[in-house]
Structure 1
Amino acid sequence: MSVETGISTGTTAHENFIFTGERMKNIKLASRETKQRTIIEVGSVKIGEDFLLIAGPCSVESEEQMMETATAVKAAGANMLRGGAFKPRTSPYAFQGLGLKGLKILEKTGREVGLPVVTEVLDTRDVSWVCEYVDMLQIGTRNMQNFSLLKEVGKTKKPVILKRGMYSTLEEWLNCAEYILNEGNPQVILCERGIRTFETYTRNTLDLSAVPAIKELTHLPIIIDPTHGTGRITLIPPMSLAAVVSGADGLAIEVHNNPEVALSDKEQALRPEQFAKLAEQIWQLRAYTMEHLA
């Protein structure tokens, strides 16, 4: 029987490891063979045991925007606040974030509403001082194989969300996690955010098969980002619920108090009322799966 799904697979975990072992031979610290499960505590949430529900805007734009959004997502059931202070954008002319000002707003908002905060770090030179303002760091898809940055966050004591590169295999992704783990930081959370395929209807192709696959290969928690994985508001709710059933340890969802005027990713941000409805379904489904599918 599969520990994660309760469905008979006909092979044991050891047999699965032997089957993939040769290709995954460099996955040493992240391997499921070395540890049953990693639990990471951030605030009152035990990631890998509790369900992590991250919500907030793509970019920190103002104190008012952050406070309105944070208050709404916490009331809806989110247990972590996100917000970008540094934004890696395809165009150099697009909004790049507020930098230090944005970090201060994010930290203040999280403290006042009572939510731990997470933001993306882009540069090795920024890691140490970004750590002063946030509870968790994020490595974005474009930086998944920025090995210098991976080593630098590996030297910190902060939990790290490592997003899958848009063209990366599971093996490449886990090798990048190894860089962080090898520097002494065991607090790595993997995030599937969609990969690039020939499909153009969605922003990316959300690979939910990565959840059970990663759980076979590694002890690290894995969360899903349905916002970037689909890029379509109508698809975020069903893919979020599918992620819960797949066994994901959490979700990261973009929410903005007024998406029409958002400075980035306005077309894929949920309104607070949309998120509240979805969050209620997420928590109900999570409770059901824990009772009936665990």
Structure 2
Amino acid sequence: MIFILKPHATEQDAKQLLDQIEAAGLKPLYMPGVERTVIGAIGDERVLNSLHLDFHPLVDEVKPILSSYKLVSRELYPIDTRVKIGNFAVGGEAFTVIAGPCAVESQQQLDGIADYLTQHKVAAIRGGAYKPRTSPYSFQGLGEEGLKILKATSERSGLPTVSEIVDANDAELMAQYVDCLQIGARNMQNFRLLEAVGKLQTPVLLKRGMSATIEELLLAAEYIVNAGNPNVILCERGIRTYETATRNTLDLNAVAYLKQKTHLPVLVDPSHGTGVRDLVIPLSRAAAAVGADGIIVETHTNPAQALSDGHQNLDPQQFDDLMSSMKPFVEAAGRSL
């Protein structure tokens, strides 16, 4: 529930109401504005109704939060959230590009990729140190050694890093090495993992599950924000449908819908969304056109020798083509690249 206080209500008045909400076992929210102060309460509606705050002399208007997700809803926070990865704000006027290999393979490999990424306005370099793979015989990543490589590349290139976390027990360890924790499609509803990253302030890139609804994605984000971490970035990475021509079906409908329903920034992953290298560039353009805040793409110095997902990785020339061809689409969407 949202309570809009009367114009003469002071900060102390708001604090007294928030204390009353918290004492009842509800989650209090404080949103001071230029003209009005807004407070909120999240929790058992029966408890909330028993407080009768709608009759309080300082409360001017009461608005229920109708969506099942509260903290990530535009009903509660109508202003777009910006999430900083390093010194770059995701969700601002600049169109975010995050790029790098599917998996960290060696220091030489990652440094080589970083060398050509730094020639463009790339926000961060991605690379998996822990790889959840469908087959137990596939490359599973270098683990902590991969994290150390990411850290060294970041210090050398100045690029912040994004890497996937697969185990709640690794949260604090990974936060020491990387600038943004990615939760992959297979873990979108791993609630213990969501709560673990929610206890940190490290930004989280949350990918939609391959069979997840939009509401389930938003509720997964709600877990993280409710645990105390507001720095969440959503990512549409394609869903599983009956179509077999591409690896997944990239649901750009979801991007436009999410931008209406949530204040969180939304990225698109055209690499996993298609699984086809030649489709990454046109789908990246489409992502910009439909209102995405940015893209995350896979790129490698030699995709043919990549240890993971080489078929969807761009080579350096293709990445150059991506960045140059994206510019008019990004500018048409009112952003800068």
TM-score, normalization by structure 1: 0.90
2:204 to 160, 166, 170: 160
Q: Which runs of 4+ in 1 moved over 3 A?
A: none
Q: In 2, distance between residues paired with 1:249 and 1:71? A: 24
Q: In 1, distance between residues paired with 2:89 and 2:126? A: 17
Q: In 1, distance between residues paired with 2:192 and 2:73? A: 22
- Contact 1:140–1:163 (8 Å) recurs in 2: yes
RMSD (Å), alpha carbons: 1.7
Q: Residue 19 of structure 2 corresponds to which residue in structure 1?
A: none
Q: What's the secondary structure of 1:76's corresponding residue?
A: coil
Q: In 1, distance between residues paired with 2:175 and 2:66? A: 32
> Structure 2, unaligned stretches of length 5 or more?
1-63
- Contact 2:95–2:335 (8 Å) recurs in 1: no
- Contact 2:67–2:73 (8 Å) recurs in 1: no
> Structure 1, unaligned stretches of length 5 or more?
1-21
Superposed displacement of residue 23, structure 1: 11
Matched letter for residue 33 of structure 1: E
- Contact 1:76–1:280 (8 Å) recurs in 2: no
- Contact 2:232–2:264 (8 Å) recurs in 1: yes
Alignment of 1:82-231 (within 5 A): 82-231=126-275
| CA separation of 1:141 and 1:24: change in aligned 2, threshold 3 A | farther
| CA separation of 1:151 and 1:74: change in aligned 2, threshold 3 A | same
Q: What's the secondary structure of 1:132's corresponding residue?
A: helix
Q: What's the secondary structure of 2:98's corresponding residue?
A: strand
1:38 aligns with 2:81: yes
Q: In 1, distance between residues paired with 2:66 and 2:137? A: 41
* CA displacement, residues 38-97 of structure 1 (integer Å, 9 cap, x when unaligned): 111222211110221000000000111001111112213322100000000000111000
Matched letter for residue 132 of structure 2: P
Q: In 2, distance between residues paired with 1:262 and 1:48? A: 31
2:297 to 231, 253, 263: 253
Structure whose alpha-carbon radius of gyration is higher: 2
Alignment of 1:252-271 (within 5 A): 252-271=296-315
- Contact 1:150–1:176 (8 Å) recurs in 2: yes
| CA separation of 1:147 and 1:212: change in aligned 2, threshold 3 A | same
1:29 aligns with 2:77: no
Q: In 1, distance between residues paired with 2:207 and 2:65? A: 21
Q: What's the secondary structure of 2:255's corresponding residue?
A: helix
Q: In 1, distance between residues paired with 2:283 and 2:65? A: 30
Matched letter for residue 45 of structure 1: F
Superposed displacement of residue 213, structure 1: 0.2
Q: What's the secondary structure of 1:198's corresponding residue?
A: coil
Q: Residue 236 of structure 1 corresponds to which residue in structure 2?
A: 280
* CA displacement, residues 191-234 of structure 1 (integer Å, 9 cap, x when unaligned): 00000000000000000011110011110000000000000011
| CA separation of 1:291 and 1:112: change in aligned 2, threshold 3 A | closer
Q: What's the secondary structure of 2:97's corresponding residue?
A: strand
Q: Residue 6 of structure 1 corresponds to which residue in structure 2?
A: none
1:51 to 71, 79, 95: 95
Q: What's the secondary structure of 2:75's corresponding residue?
A: coil
Superposed displacement of residue 289, structure 1: 2.1
Q: In 2, distance between residues paired with 1:167 and 1:211? A: 16
Q: Residue 18 of structure 1 corresponds to which residue in structure 2?
A: none
Count matched residues.
Answer: 272
- Contact 1:76–1:275 (8 Å) recurs in 2: no
Matched letter for residue 38 of structure 1: T
Matched letter for residue 247 of structure 1: G
Q: When you count strand as a share of all residues, which structure comes out higher?
A: 2
- Contact 2:154–2:161 (8 Å) recurs in 1: yes
* CA displacement, residues 76-130 of structure 1 (integer Å, 9 cap, x when unaligned): 3322100000000000111000001100001110111111100000001101010
Q: What's the secondary structure of 1:195's corresponding residue?
A: coil
Q: What's the secondary structure of 1:251's corresponding residue?
A: strand
Q: In 1, distance between residues paired with 2:247 and 2:115? A: 29
Bigger relative contact order, structure 1 or 2, given CA contacts below 8 A and separation 6+? Answer: 1
